[in-house]
Amino acid sequence: MAELKHISVLLDEFKKTDEMQKISDFIKIVDSWKAIGGSISSCSVPEKFENGCLYIKCKDGIWAQELSMMKEQILNKLNKINRKKIKDIRFYI
């Protein structure tokens, strides 16, 4: 028979998993994206974060191009907030 565990123990175990760490990292990135700036965050949104690459969905091709040209500046700002976890950013529509 399986061992019964209190829900708080199960939650503590889950918090330590790689999957939960990925979710936590993504939430921090989404929050820091909002802090980047009004016009940038209003025309784009982080969609996923995988293997150090942040994927940003943009409102249209013009914004995707504009943000691509600002990529290094954005990457530096985000990494100051997120302890250099982001290696690359990809913008798409």
- Strands 53-58 and 88-92, how do they pair? parallel
**Tokens read off for 54:** 């942040």
Q: What is the Cα–Cα distance from 13 to 24, expressed in whole angstroms?
A: 15
Say what the pTM is.
0.79
- Sketch out the chain's domains with CATH numbers: 19-92 (3.30.300.180)
Q: pLDDT digit string (tens) for 3-24?
A: 888 899 888 888 888 888 888 8
Q: pLDDT digit string (tens) for 24-47?
A: 888 888 888 988 877 888 899 999
